[in-house]
Homo-oligomer: A and B are copies of this chain.
Amino acid sequence: MKYYVGVELGVNHISAGLVDKSGKLVRRATGPTMKERPYQEIVADIAALIRKVLDEEGADVKNIRYIGVGCPGISNSKTGTIIRSYIAGFTNLPLREELQKHFNLHVFIENDANCAALAESVSGAAEDIDHSVLIRIGNGIGGGIIIDNCIYSGFNNAGPEIGHMVIIRDGEQCTCGRKGCWEAYCSEKALLRSIEVAAAENPDAPINRITENDHTRINLTTSFEALKAGDIAVRQAFVHYLDLFATGLTNIVNILMPQAVIIGGEIGKMGEYLLKPLRERVFSEIYTSEVELPEFKIAEMGSAAIIIGAAMLGLSKDNIEEL
């Protein structure tokens, strides 16, 4: 039995998983990143997690085909280096080289959102679809483009940064330095911020009862609850969010025309409550609707997405010759 090892190098947690050829996660182990320490220690912990899942599975290093790592920020998949990350100290980090001190195996490095997009393409919502775009809503808007079943990350592996597309020139300040990016309006954080404003401005709104007037308790769960309770203020904030979301999404569809748009992140739990109004808005704005239109779906891989995608990196036609 051969396994593919997928690693998620996250801001708070590191995880290693054994994945089988069909893209199924067989076993997983997780530990804290403790990102302030020297990267050598973090990589040593990753190696220990890999050994742990192997032990638990009764397997050995010789059962591993290769290791794939999903990393935050921009990485150079050719050199195996993290070029730049929002984790301080993760700049010019020779991740492949360091991990190969522990395992004499091929190591693939890729941006985490690109890994998640690949996972959806291999065995998730975009299975059997060649061209898909994953849009992950979280603190920001990340994404991955899959073309012909392979990650498309631009000529320098620095793409795509779909969240950093200006939709309102000179608008809200974005963390990237630009003003008016899609991310600045449509991250989960931006949605919750506008719901907080709505809650503050409407003392009688159900969201205040649900959160007992503690606005630190405004999150997607309490907000959905308020929506279900008929909260008009929260509903208005959400409708405005959908309008802005659709502006960016229509841009993406006009530019890329993917066969499937996959929405990931906790907001995906809204399911059709999110997808239906998005479809209506995008299809009414799109350049032409006289063609076959993209499917809109919710991501299916959940918390295993990055691990599974990282484990599948070597099966991509761009990488297979490296093995």
Could you list which residues of chain A lie within 8 angstroms of chain B, going by C-beta atoms? 74, 76, 83-84, 130-131, 147, 152-162, 164-169, 176-178, 244, 247, 250-252, 254-259, 285, 287-288, 290-294
CA distance A169 to B161 in the complex (A): 20
Check A156 against B254 for contact (C-beta < 8 Å).
no
Check A165 against B254 for contact (C-beta < 8 Å).
yes
Check A257 against B169 for contact (C-beta < 8 Å).
no
CB contacts (< 8 Å) of A285 on chain B: these are 177-178
CB contacts (< 8 Å) of A293 on chain B: these are 156
Chain A interface helix/strand/loop/mixed = loop
CA distance A292 to B78 in the complex (A): 13
Check A152 against B160 for contact (C-beta < 8 Å).
no
CB contacts (< 8 Å) of A76 on chain B: these are 291
Nearest-neighbour CB distance to chain B for A41, whole angstroms, equals: 25
Nearest-neighbour CB distance to chain B for A179, whole angstroms, equals: 10
Given the interface contacts A169-B244, A287-B176, does A154 sit within 8 Å of B257 by beta carbon? yes
Given the interface contacts A160-B257, A288-B74, does A155 sit within 8 Å of B131 by beta carbon? yes
CB contacts (< 8 Å) of A152 on chain B: these are 147
Which one of B158, B252, B291, B292 contacts A287 once the chains associate, using CB atoms below 8 Å?
Answer: B158
CA distance A154 to B294 in the complex (A): 10
Check A292 against B159 for contact (C-beta < 8 Å).
no
Check B74 against A255 for contact (C-beta < 8 Å).
no
Closest 7 CB pairs of A and B: A154-B257, A159-B257, A155-B259, A161-B287, A161-B254, A165-B251, A158-B291
Check B254 against A159 for contact (C-beta < 8 Å).
yes
CA distance A142 to B290 in the complex (A): 19
CB contacts (< 8 Å) of A177 on chain B: these are 285
Check B154 against A258 for contact (C-beta < 8 Å).
yes
CB contacts (< 8 Å) of A166 on chain B: these are 167, 247, 250-251
Check B159 against A290 for contact (C-beta < 8 Å).
no
CB contacts (< 8 Å) of A244 on chain B: these are 169
CA distance A254 to B285 in the complex (A): 22
Nearest B residue to A293 via CB reads B156
CB contacts (< 8 Å) of A84 on chain B: these are 288, 290
Extra pairs beyond A154-B256, A168-B169 (20, CB < 8 Å): A74-B291, A76-B291, A84-B290, A130-B155, A147-B147, A147-B152, A154-B257, A155-B292, A158-B288, A159-B254, A159-B255, A160-B254, A160-B255, A160-B257, A165-B254, A166-B247, A166-B251, A168-B168, A169-B244, A169-B247
Nearest-neighbour CB distance to chain B for A126, whole angstroms, equals: 11
Jot down 20 A-B pairs with beta carbons below 8 A, ordered by A. A84-B288, A84-B290, A147-B147, A153-B257, A154-B258, A155-B292, A155-B294, A156-B257, A156-B292, A157-B291, A159-B254, A159-B255, A159-B256, A161-B254, A162-B254, A162-B255, A165-B165, A165-B255, A166-B167, A169-B247
